[in-house]
Structure 1
Protein backbone atom coordinates (compact mmCIF):
# COMPACT_ATOMS: atom_id res chain seq x y z
CA UNK A 1 0.00 0.00 0.00
CA UNK A 2 1.23 3.47 -0.75
CA UNK A 3 1.73 6.15 1.88
CA UNK A 4 -1.31 8.08 0.65
CA UNK A 5 -3.71 5.13 0.59
CA UNK A 6 -5.68 4.81 3.82
CA UNK A 7 -5.19 1.73 5.91
CA UNK A 8 -8.24 -0.56 5.86
CA UNK A 9 -9.53 0.43 9.33
CA UNK A 10 -9.30 4.14 8.40
CA UNK A 11 -10.91 3.40 5.03
CA UNK A 12 -13.97 1.99 6.81
CA UNK A 13 -14.29 4.67 9.50
CA UNK A 14 -17.16 6.43 7.72
CA UNK A 15 -18.85 3.07 7.19
CA UNK A 16 -18.81 2.42 10.92
CA UNK A 17 -20.15 5.93 11.53
CA UNK A 18 -23.22 5.02 9.47
CA UNK A 19 -23.80 2.01 11.73
CA UNK A 20 -23.23 4.14 14.83
CA UNK A 21 -25.77 6.68 13.55
CA UNK A 22 -28.34 3.91 13.01
CA UNK A 23 -27.71 2.60 16.52
CA UNK A 24 -28.01 6.11 17.95
CA UNK A 25 -31.32 6.59 16.13
CA UNK A 26 -32.56 3.30 17.60
CA UNK A 27 -31.67 4.51 21.09
CA UNK A 28 -33.38 7.85 20.45
CA UNK A 29 -36.55 6.07 19.26
CA UNK A 30 -36.67 4.05 22.46
CA UNK A 31 -35.98 7.02 24.73
CA UNK A 32 -38.61 9.18 22.99
CA UNK A 33 -41.17 6.37 23.22
CA UNK A 34 -40.48 5.87 26.93
CA UNK A 35 -40.57 9.57 27.80
CA UNK A 36 -43.35 10.84 25.52
CA UNK A 37 -45.00 7.60 24.40
CA UNK A 38 -48.22 8.18 26.31
CA UNK A 39 -48.62 11.72 24.93
CA UNK A 40 -47.93 10.58 21.37
CA UNK A 41 -50.45 7.74 21.35
CA UNK A 42 -53.61 7.95 19.32
CA UNK A 43 -56.62 5.75 19.75
CA UNK A 44 -56.75 2.87 17.27
CA UNK A 45 -58.97 -0.16 17.76
CA UNK A 46 -57.36 -3.35 18.97
CA UNK A 47 -58.32 -5.28 15.82
CA UNK A 48 -56.67 -2.70 13.55
CA UNK A 49 -53.56 -2.60 15.72
CA UNK A 50 -53.23 -6.38 15.67
CA UNK A 51 -53.66 -6.43 11.90
CA UNK A 52 -51.12 -3.64 11.37
CA UNK A 53 -48.68 -5.21 13.83
CA UNK A 54 -48.92 -8.52 11.98
CA UNK A 55 -48.37 -6.80 8.63
CA UNK A 56 -45.36 -4.91 10.00
CA UNK A 57 -43.89 -8.12 11.44
CA UNK A 58 -44.29 -9.69 8.00
CA UNK A 59 -42.66 -6.70 6.30
CA UNK A 60 -39.79 -6.79 8.81
CA UNK A 61 -39.26 -10.50 8.20
CA UNK A 62 -39.24 -9.92 4.42
CA UNK A 63 -36.87 -6.94 4.75
CA UNK A 64 -34.09 -9.10 6.19
CA UNK A 65 -33.59 -11.40 3.17
CA UNK A 66 -34.38 -8.51 0.80
CA UNK A 67 -31.65 -6.41 2.41
CA UNK A 68 -29.26 -9.34 2.27
CA UNK A 69 -30.01 -9.82 -1.44
CA UNK A 70 -29.62 -6.09 -2.11
CA UNK A 71 -26.29 -6.05 -0.31
CA UNK A 72 -25.10 -9.07 -2.27
CA UNK A 73 -26.07 -7.45 -5.58
CA UNK A 74 -24.42 -4.16 -4.62
CA UNK A 75 -21.22 -5.96 -3.61
CA UNK A 76 -21.06 -7.67 -7.00
CA UNK A 77 -21.74 -4.38 -8.78
CA UNK A 78 -19.00 -2.76 -6.72
CA UNK A 79 -16.59 -5.38 -8.01
CA UNK A 80 -17.61 -5.26 -11.65
CA UNK A 81 -18.89 -1.81 -12.60
CA UNK A 82 -16.44 0.57 -14.22
CA UNK A 83 -16.01 4.05 -12.87
CA UNK A 84 -13.67 6.32 -10.99
CA UNK A 85 -15.01 5.62 -7.49
CA UNK A 86 -12.66 3.98 -5.02
CA UNK A 87 -13.39 0.70 -3.26
CA UNK A 88 -14.13 2.57 -0.03
CA UNK A 89 -16.65 4.85 -1.78
CA UNK A 90 -18.35 1.91 -3.45
CA UNK A 91 -18.53 -0.06 -0.20
CA UNK A 92 -19.84 3.01 1.65
CA UNK A 93 -22.84 3.08 -0.71
CA UNK A 94 -23.47 -0.61 -0.05
CA UNK A 95 -23.35 -0.18 3.73
CA UNK A 96 -25.52 2.94 3.64
CA UNK A 97 -28.21 1.30 1.50
CA UNK A 98 -28.21 -1.85 3.66
CA UNK A 99 -28.47 0.13 6.89
CA UNK A 100 -31.21 2.36 5.43
CA UNK A 101 -33.31 -0.66 4.49
CA UNK A 102 -32.94 -2.15 7.96
CA UNK A 103 -33.75 1.24 9.52
CA UNK A 104 -37.38 0.70 8.52
CA UNK A 105 -37.60 -2.19 10.97
CA UNK A 106 -36.53 0.17 13.74
CA UNK A 107 -39.22 2.67 12.75
CA UNK A 108 -42.00 0.09 13.06
CA UNK A 109 -41.72 0.07 16.88
CA UNK A 110 -42.36 3.80 17.36
CA UNK A 111 -45.13 3.64 14.76
CA UNK A 112 -46.87 0.96 16.80
CA UNK A 113 -46.34 2.96 20.03
CA UNK A 114 -48.04 5.96 18.41
CA UNK A 115 -50.92 3.70 17.37
CA UNK A 116 -51.37 2.61 20.98
CA UNK A 117 -49.42 -0.63 21.15
CA UNK A 118 -47.29 -1.59 24.15
CA UNK A 119 -43.58 -1.54 24.79
CA UNK A 120 -43.24 -5.24 24.02
CA UNK A 121 -43.73 -4.52 20.32
CA UNK A 122 -41.22 -1.65 20.52
CA UNK A 123 -38.67 -3.99 22.08
CA UNK A 124 -39.22 -6.70 19.46
CA UNK A 125 -38.75 -4.29 16.55
CA UNK A 126 -35.80 -2.65 18.31
CA UNK A 127 -34.12 -6.02 18.80
CA UNK A 128 -34.70 -6.91 15.17
CA UNK A 129 -33.25 -3.54 14.12
CA UNK A 130 -30.17 -4.03 16.31
CA UNK A 131 -29.72 -7.48 14.78
CA UNK A 132 -29.97 -5.96 11.30
CA UNK A 133 -27.36 -3.32 12.15
CA UNK A 134 -25.06 -6.10 13.35
CA UNK A 135 -25.66 -8.37 10.35
CA UNK A 136 -25.05 -5.59 7.82
CA UNK A 137 -22.07 -3.98 9.53
CA UNK A 138 -18.92 -3.28 7.52
CA UNK A 139 -16.81 -6.39 7.07
CA UNK A 140 -13.18 -6.32 6.04
CA UNK A 141 -13.59 -9.42 3.84
CA UNK A 142 -16.27 -7.68 1.77
CA UNK A 143 -14.14 -4.57 1.47
CA UNK A 144 -11.08 -6.59 0.48
CA UNK A 145 -13.08 -8.42 -2.20
CA UNK A 146 -13.90 -5.06 -3.80
CA UNK A 147 -10.31 -3.84 -3.46
CA UNK A 148 -9.02 -7.05 -5.08
CA UNK A 149 -11.55 -6.98 -7.92
CA UNK A 150 -10.98 -3.37 -9.00
CA UNK A 151 -7.32 -3.65 -10.08
CA UNK A 152 -8.00 -7.00 -11.75
CA UNK A 153 -10.83 -5.41 -13.70
CA UNK A 154 -8.71 -2.41 -14.70
CA UNK A 155 -5.90 -4.76 -15.78
CA UNK A 156 -8.18 -6.24 -18.45
CA UNK A 157 -8.53 -2.84 -20.06
CA UNK A 158 -12.04 -2.15 -18.77
Structure 2
Protein backbone atom coordinates (compact mmCIF):
# COMPACT_ATOMS: atom_id res chain seq x y z
CA UNK A 1 0.00 0.00 0.00
CA UNK A 2 1.51 3.38 -1.01
CA UNK A 3 2.38 5.78 1.79
CA UNK A 4 0.58 9.19 1.89
CA UNK A 5 2.50 12.36 2.70
CA UNK A 6 1.19 15.70 4.00
CA UNK A 7 1.83 18.22 1.17
CA UNK A 8 1.65 21.27 3.48
CA UNK A 9 4.48 19.90 5.60
CA UNK A 10 6.48 19.24 2.46
CA UNK A 11 6.05 22.83 1.30
CA UNK A 12 7.61 24.04 4.55
CA UNK A 13 10.58 21.67 4.01
CA UNK A 14 11.37 23.47 0.75
CA UNK A 15 12.16 26.75 2.51
CA UNK A 16 15.94 26.29 2.48
CA UNK A 17 16.12 25.05 -1.12
CA UNK A 18 14.04 28.07 -2.18
CA UNK A 19 16.32 30.37 -0.19
CA UNK A 20 19.30 29.00 -2.13
CA UNK A 21 17.57 29.71 -5.45
CA UNK A 22 16.60 33.23 -4.34
CA UNK A 23 20.17 33.92 -3.19
CA UNK A 24 21.50 32.73 -6.56
CA UNK A 25 19.09 35.13 -8.29
CA UNK A 26 20.21 37.95 -5.99
CA UNK A 27 23.85 37.22 -6.90
CA UNK A 28 22.96 37.45 -10.60
CA UNK A 29 21.16 40.75 -10.05
CA UNK A 30 24.08 42.09 -8.01
CA UNK A 31 26.54 41.21 -10.77
CA UNK A 32 24.45 43.07 -13.33
CA UNK A 33 24.01 46.05 -11.01
CA UNK A 34 27.71 46.30 -10.17
CA UNK A 35 28.68 46.01 -13.83
CA UNK A 36 26.12 48.66 -14.76
CA UNK A 37 27.39 51.09 -12.14
CA UNK A 38 31.13 50.41 -12.41
CA UNK A 39 31.25 49.29 -16.04
CA UNK A 40 34.03 51.51 -17.39
CA UNK A 41 36.15 51.06 -14.26
CA UNK A 42 35.94 47.27 -14.52
CA UNK A 43 36.98 47.18 -18.18
CA UNK A 44 40.38 48.88 -17.89
CA UNK A 45 42.30 46.81 -20.47
CA UNK A 46 39.93 44.91 -22.76
CA UNK A 47 41.19 41.86 -24.60
CA UNK A 48 41.47 42.07 -28.39
CA UNK A 49 38.15 41.48 -30.18
CA UNK A 50 39.32 38.26 -31.88
CA UNK A 51 40.38 36.73 -28.55
CA UNK A 52 37.12 37.78 -26.85
CA UNK A 53 35.09 36.37 -29.73
CA UNK A 54 36.80 33.00 -29.40
CA UNK A 55 36.39 32.94 -25.59
CA UNK A 56 32.75 34.09 -25.87
CA UNK A 57 31.97 31.31 -28.37
CA UNK A 58 33.50 28.67 -26.10
CA UNK A 59 31.63 30.00 -23.06
CA UNK A 60 28.33 30.13 -24.98
CA UNK A 61 28.86 26.50 -25.92
CA UNK A 62 29.64 25.51 -22.34
CA UNK A 63 26.65 27.53 -21.09
CA UNK A 64 24.29 25.87 -23.55
CA UNK A 65 25.61 22.39 -22.73
CA UNK A 66 25.12 23.16 -19.02
CA UNK A 67 21.33 22.94 -19.47
CA UNK A 68 20.99 19.33 -20.67
CA UNK A 69 23.88 18.27 -18.43
CA UNK A 70 22.20 19.80 -15.37
CA UNK A 71 18.90 18.19 -16.35
CA UNK A 72 20.55 14.77 -16.71
CA UNK A 73 22.48 15.10 -13.48
CA UNK A 74 19.37 16.25 -11.61
CA UNK A 75 17.39 13.30 -12.98
CA UNK A 76 20.12 10.87 -11.89
CA UNK A 77 20.38 12.48 -8.45
CA UNK A 78 16.63 12.36 -7.91
CA UNK A 79 16.53 8.69 -8.88
CA UNK A 80 19.48 7.87 -6.62
CA UNK A 81 17.84 9.83 -3.81
CA UNK A 82 14.79 7.58 -4.10
CA UNK A 83 16.64 4.27 -4.32
CA UNK A 84 19.65 4.58 -1.99
CA UNK A 85 19.12 2.87 1.36
CA UNK A 86 18.29 5.15 4.27
CA UNK A 87 19.64 3.05 7.13
CA UNK A 88 18.30 3.75 10.61
CA UNK A 89 17.73 7.47 10.04
CA UNK A 90 14.20 8.90 9.78
CA UNK A 91 13.20 9.01 6.12
CA UNK A 92 12.02 12.63 6.39
CA UNK A 93 15.45 13.85 7.46
CA UNK A 94 17.14 11.86 4.72
CA UNK A 95 14.75 13.14 2.06
CA UNK A 96 15.20 16.74 3.14
CA UNK A 97 19.00 16.46 3.08
CA UNK A 98 19.12 14.63 -0.24
CA UNK A 99 16.77 17.06 -1.96
CA UNK A 100 18.72 20.03 -0.64
CA UNK A 101 21.91 18.54 -2.09
CA UNK A 102 20.19 18.05 -5.44
CA UNK A 103 19.05 21.68 -5.50
CA UNK A 104 22.50 22.96 -4.49
CA UNK A 105 24.19 21.00 -7.29
CA UNK A 106 21.61 22.13 -9.87
CA UNK A 107 21.83 25.78 -8.84
CA UNK A 108 25.63 25.68 -8.77
CA UNK A 109 25.84 24.26 -12.27
CA UNK A 110 23.23 26.54 -13.79
CA UNK A 111 24.72 29.62 -12.11
CA UNK A 112 27.85 29.23 -14.24
CA UNK A 113 26.56 31.05 -17.36
CA UNK A 114 26.01 34.17 -15.24
CA UNK A 115 29.64 33.99 -14.18
CA UNK A 116 30.68 33.56 -17.81
CA UNK A 117 28.88 36.80 -18.57
CA UNK A 118 30.80 38.54 -15.82
CA UNK A 119 34.08 37.16 -17.16
CA UNK A 120 33.29 38.34 -20.67
CA UNK A 121 32.28 41.77 -19.38
CA UNK A 122 35.55 42.06 -17.47
CA UNK A 123 37.43 41.04 -20.62
CA UNK A 124 35.83 43.95 -22.49
CA UNK A 125 32.60 42.63 -24.00
CA UNK A 126 29.59 44.95 -24.06
CA UNK A 127 26.86 44.95 -21.42
CA UNK A 128 24.46 42.97 -23.62
CA UNK A 129 26.74 39.90 -23.43
CA UNK A 130 26.50 40.04 -19.64
CA UNK A 131 22.71 40.31 -19.89
CA UNK A 132 22.44 37.33 -22.27
CA UNK A 133 24.51 35.09 -20.00
CA UNK A 134 22.64 36.33 -16.93
CA UNK A 135 19.29 35.59 -18.54
CA UNK A 136 20.53 32.09 -19.39
CA UNK A 137 21.29 31.54 -15.70
CA UNK A 138 17.97 33.03 -14.64
CA UNK A 139 16.15 30.67 -17.02
CA UNK A 140 18.09 27.76 -15.51
CA UNK A 141 17.15 28.84 -11.99
CA UNK A 142 13.51 28.79 -13.07
CA UNK A 143 13.79 25.39 -14.77
CA UNK A 144 15.66 23.70 -11.93
CA UNK A 145 13.88 25.36 -9.00
CA UNK A 146 12.68 23.24 -6.08
CA UNK A 147 9.51 21.41 -7.07
CA UNK A 148 6.97 20.08 -4.62
CA UNK A 149 6.12 17.09 -6.84
CA UNK A 150 9.76 15.96 -7.02
CA UNK A 151 10.15 16.28 -3.27
CA UNK A 152 6.86 14.47 -2.64
CA UNK A 153 7.92 11.56 -4.88
CA UNK A 154 11.19 11.35 -2.95
CA UNK A 155 9.38 11.34 0.41
CA UNK A 156 6.92 8.66 -0.72
CA UNK A 157 9.72 6.46 -2.09
CA UNK A 158 11.73 6.75 1.13
CA UNK A 159 8.62 6.27 3.31
CA UNK A 160 7.77 3.10 1.41
CA UNK A 161 11.38 1.95 1.74
CA UNK A 162 11.26 2.66 5.49
CA UNK A 163 8.11 0.55 5.92
CA UNK A 164 9.36 -2.49 4.01
Look up the SS of the partner of 2:145 in the other structure. Answer: coil
Name the counterpart of 1:109: 117
- So what's the TM-score if we normalise by structure 1? 0.92
Name the counterpart of 1:53: 56
| Structure with the larger RCO, 1 or 2 (CA within 8 Å, 6+ apart) | 2
Consecutive unaligned residues in structure 1, runs of 5 or more: none
1 CA distance for matches of 2:39 and 2:125?
10
Q: CA deviation at 1:151?
A: 1.8
Look up the SS of the partner of 1:87 in the other structure. Answer: helix
Tell me the number of residue pairs that the alignment of Structure 1 and Structure 2 aligns: 155
2 CA distance for matches of 1:39 and 1:148?
53
- Is 1:65–2:68 an aligned residue pair? yes
Look up the SS of the partner of 1:107 in the other structure. Answer: helix
Q: 1:19 aligns with which of 18, 21, 30?
A: 21
- Is 1:143–2:151 an aligned residue pair? yes
Name the counterpart of 2:30: 28
Q: Deviations over 1:99-136 (max 9, x none)?
A: 00011111011101100000110111011011000000
2 CA distance for matches of 1:12 and 1:95?
10
2 CA distance for matches of 1:86 and 1:80?
12
Q: CA deviation at 1:59?
A: 0.2
